[in-house]
Amino acid sequence: MKQTKNKGIYIIGAGFAGRQLGEEIRNKNIFGNLLGYLDDDETLGGTTLTGVPVYTPISSILKIQKANPADEAIIAVPQASHEQLRRIYNLVTRSGISKTRFLPTVSQIIDGNAHLIQTRELSAEDLLRRDPVVIHLKKSLEYLRGRRVLITGAGGSIGSELSRQLLSGGAERLYLFDNGENNIYEIEKELKLLQKEGVGEKATIVPVLGDLRDREYTKFILNRLKADVIFHCAAYKHVPMLEHNPVEAVKNNIFGTLNLVDAAQEAGASRFVLISTDKAVNPSSVYGASKTLAEEIVLSQKNSNTDFMVVRFGNVLGSRGSIVPLFQKQILTGGPVTVTHPDVTRFFMTIPEASSLVLKAGGVGLGGNLYILEMGAPIRIQDLARQMIRFYGFEPNKEIDINFIGLRPGEKITETLWADDESPEKTEYSGISLLQRSLRFNGELNSLLDDLNTTCYLHPGKESNYRNRIKVREFLSRYIPSLEIPEDEPEY
């Protein structure tokens, strides 16, 4: 802490959020020395906030930094568009300030208060995003007030962001369920720090280690926890990895979901929200097929006291194992940046935006419905690579090469958010559409699940195709014709 006391800090943005961060820096006296605020509101120029000068416009940082240099800038403009954020970041970079943090979009500050623990370093995906749909979450989360909320996969990218946003939503208990102890440890630690800053301090945070593939344990723990609302984020999702491990994909993504659905009904949960993906549409990969079946399991629940619904969306920028962190590593090690195909495109949205819309849909959605999040136009991955290379100060194909390596098993050139027999309808809620569809598999879902169960699990005393990945693909492709079958897959 001694090293930070003499660190000079400028806050970009003299609005409510910036002032709150400034007060925290001054009151705690451990983060550094606040040198001033910068804002584009000319009426603030020459004034002070609790004795700290306000400089205008923001572009004046170029000369102010020379006169009174700082070590760090914090961008506290949570409603900034991506163009505004890019302009501010470029100004800070040109001024010579070595470190930049920012306060993420207003959707994350659902209790109306900004804290330094909420800031993080700016990265490429923050500058590449489209302008997010702003969700006023405090009102949207009223359905969770006083309730017990369970998030599976709570340590993952979407699960952890849901946890952050849920913290101050008024939940009585927040159950963080994951099968990775480090994942839970990290998000629990972060949430506890937020509580120390006054965010959701009344909520009880409960870490829960477990594996949804264990059917009896899943039933036991849900009966013990008595969760009212469940957000099911847990899934294996790496497409090429699951092509090599289809049995584990089925066990985790399909039977894990089935176990959780059955346990939720038995335990009396009122709402169940499955997080799904555009790869479930006409799936070519085992991952996509597993999510198609997971959707069907959830939506086929009839005559239940639990409202089961699905929220489907595309890729999220910066999620673990996704393309943005991969490109970042490749750029920082000198390249090349690898792109599968010159024309490959994907839908993208930010993690906070996706999480906000999931929480909104969970409150306004009706049981038995599938909702899709509006993703805007798809982004060409080659263009994403070029923008990221420039973000880090290099010139594409001159200083950092872009190499095309070909599509990997199970991958498509383009993705879609709905199939030909599905029809999206606008809802009254911005960013959320209802997908009109019919149940799939012609009433043979249970037959397919029985076949997969025989293939994936050992049943003593019975002839079994236990752990035969060729049989898994055979059963899946019988019901999902779009699934691609490798020509030379070894059996094990």
What's the maximum distance between 2 C-alpha atoms anywhere in the chain? 84
Q: Backbone phi, then psi, for 332, in 5-degree steps? A: -70, -15
Q: In Å, what is the CA distance from 439 to each residue of 176, 296, 442, 476?
A: 31, 7, 7, 16
Candidate list 279, 291, 360, 412, residue with the active-site label? 279
Lookup: tokens for 232: 């099911």
Q: Is 291 an annotated catalytic residue?
A: no
What is the Cα–Cα distance from 419 to 437, expressed in whole angstroms? Answer: 9
What is the Cα–Cα distance from 257 to 251, expressed in whole angstroms? Answer: 9
Lookup: tokens for 187: 């998000």
What is the Cα–Cα distance from 284 to 410, expressed in whole angstroms? Answer: 5
Lookup: tokens for 26: 């001054």
Q: For the chain, give me the number of helices (H) and strands (E)?
A: 18, 22
Rounded to 5 degrees, what angle do the CA atoms 422, 427, 433 make? 40
| Spatial contact of 278 and 235, defined as CB atoms under 8 Å apart | no
What is the Cα–Cα distance from 157 to 143, expressed in whole angstroms? Answer: 23
Q: For strands 348-350 and 72-75, give the pairing.
A: unpaired
What is the Cα–Cα distance from 319 to 299, expressed in whole angstroms? Answer: 26
Lookup: tokens for 107: 């959707």
Closest to 232 measured CA to CA, from 298, 135, 165, 299? 298
Just list the catalytic residues.
Answer: 279
